[in-house]
Structure 1
Amino acid sequence: MLPFLRTNKTTPPSIRSPLSFPTTDYPDKKWIFHTCGGVGPEGPTPSQCLNSYRYSSVNVTVGTRGPFKGIQMWLVQETGTYRVTAYGAAGGRSVLAMSRSHGVYITGDFLLRRGELLHILVGQKGEDACPNINPMLNKICQEQSAPMSNKTQVKGGGGGGGGATYVFKVVKDVFIPLIIAAGGGGRGYSSLSEMQLEQMDYDPSQPGRNGKSSAAGGGGGWNDTAPVSQGGRPLVLGGQGGQACQKFWQTRGGFGGGGGGCMSGGAAGGYRGGNTSLDDNPKHDGDDGTSFLGPEGEPFLYPLKGNVTH
């Protein structure tokens, strides 16, 4: 989710209510961008967004090919300062870990000019291993979570990595990042569900690398090359989520560079994508990605892990 708020005040929002907004002189000028119903590794289609925003003030075009496929484009109608809150997507659940690694939310103020075209990739959460709509796999979910001393691990079963949310411009074919909210890593098969600290980048000259892939997929970064099939793609190559390590457990990464799961969890997308376990350790989650605020933005709320969905 990605709220834009036209503002010229700096009253802090409530930390307890991350969806609340500060008081402004323009209370009616607020735009909320979401996944338009998109799920999994691919972004939404133009028809999905047309239907989703039909009764709102949001008017976007949606890319259909190349690196812009599934990315929403919004034309700034009025010059002014806008408060942008971006939410990264959560990671997927695994067989034995039903909690999620939360996506990050981050807020910055930006001077946007009339006629500028903003590109918005709204991150989608990593896919869950359990519960599962496949009856055979859901039976395994139930058997593995039952109280028993000896559990036979089934290959796969880690969660997919969550996609990051990216807001950027394209000027003369150059991609310029404004604000990026990192996704949360997917849980490992028998995850210890440890909390990871938020990480932040500010320097756009630093390479936005993909995370390292092993059996599970590393998270897609900002401007790296194409990864292996399990890895999330970097933003400049489309930001699609990675595939699961095999077809039995389909725990793909979310749109926004989430990596596909294996026994360990897939890693999350971000300015720099998260890494995965080198030995496919079922206890290891995929790493979260890193968030980003570019030099054009003024920080208002630093990254906090708190989003449990797209």
Structure 2
Amino acid sequence: MATVSYNGATIQPYTIAATGTYDISAFGAAGGLSKGGVEPSGSGAQIGGIFSFTQGQILDIIVGGTGGNSTAGSGAGGGGGFSAVFLDNNGMPGTALLFAGGGGGASYTSAGGNATVLVAGTGLGGTGSTSPGGAGGAGALGSGGDAVAYPGGGRLLLQAA
């Protein structure tokens, strides 16, 4: 099993070592927290699928980072980053396989929204908190609301099925 974690890089290429079927799970990152607040940030989405690859195929992987925590009095946290897997197309992301949206940031008095999972491997980012607004999480299609969630930083798991 290979685990790909957030490292600040935009795209992390992964070369398939052996032809076969692989079980891939993507986890969006959680939103950030408000300084001094007690409200939770939104959780990133979790989504997975089973895919067939041939040896030497390259996947382009994006792993989202956890939203920044507020350093100002009652400021709100930042939104979590999305995680995604694409088939490589000559060094650039090609066909999208999976998207897991990031969670929304919390404010001093309001929780961040959880990311939403949609059909066909796409996800919406979580909404920011409502008062005073935290940043929404990054998503494949914009902002969303509550649904299936995974707490913590973004990551991606890839293993032979």
- What is the TM-score normalised by the length of structure 2? 0.77
Larger RCO, structure (CA 8 Å, separation 6 or more): 2
Q: Deviations over 1:113-159 (max 9, x none)?
A: 11111000111011011xx4xxxx4xx36xxxxxxxxxxxxxxx111
Asked if residue 158 in structure 1 is aligned to residue 158 in structure 2, the reply is no
The letter for the 2-side match of 1:180 is F
List runs of 5+ in structure 2 lacking aligned partners. 155-161
Is this contact kept in 1: 2:80–2:104, CA < 8 A? yes
Deviation at 1:176, TM superposition (A): 1.1
List runs of 5+ in structure 1 lacking aligned partners. 1-29, 37-42, 45-69, 142-156, 212-218, 220-257, 275-286, 290-302
Aligned length: 149
Whole-angstrom CA distance in 1 between matches of 2:121 and 2:134: 28
Structure-2 change in CA distance of 1:271 and 1:169 (3 Å): same
Structure-2 change in CA distance of 1:84 and 1:76 (3 Å): same
- What is the TM-score normalised by the length of structure 1? 0.42
Asked if residue 92 in structure 1 is aligned to residue 92 in structure 2, the reply is no
| Counterpart pick for 1:269 among 138, 141, 159 | 138
Whole-angstrom CA distance in 1 between matches of 2:104 and 2:121: 23
Asked if residue 170 in structure 1 is aligned to residue 88 in structure 2, the reply is yes
Whole-angstrom CA distance in 2 between matches of 1:122 and 1:194: 20
Asked if residue 78 in structure 1 is aligned to residue 18 in structure 2, the reply is yes
Structure-2 change in CA distance of 1:194 and 1:123 (3 Å): closer
Larger Rg: 1
Greater strand content: 2
Q: Deviations over 1:190-209 (max 9, x none)?
A: 21x276473314288xxx9x
Is this contact kept in 2: 1:101–1:187, CA < 8 A? yes
Task: Give the corresponding residue for 1:308.
Answer: 152
Greater helix content: 1
Whole-angstrom CA distance in 1 between matches of 2:121 and 2:82: 18
Aligned-pair RMSD on alpha carbons?
3.1
Deviation at 1:307, TM superposition (A): 1.9
Deviation at 1:174, TM superposition (A): 6.7
Structure-2 change in CA distance of 1:174 and 1:168 (3 Å): closer
- Aligned counterparts, 1:36-115, within 5 A: 36=7, 43-44=8-9, 70-95=10-35, 96-115=37-56
Whole-angstrom CA distance in 2 between matches of 1:85 and 1:174: 18
The letter for the 2-side match of 1:101 is G
Is this contact kept in 1: 2:29–2:43, CA < 8 A? yes
Q: Percent identity of the aligned residues?
A: 31
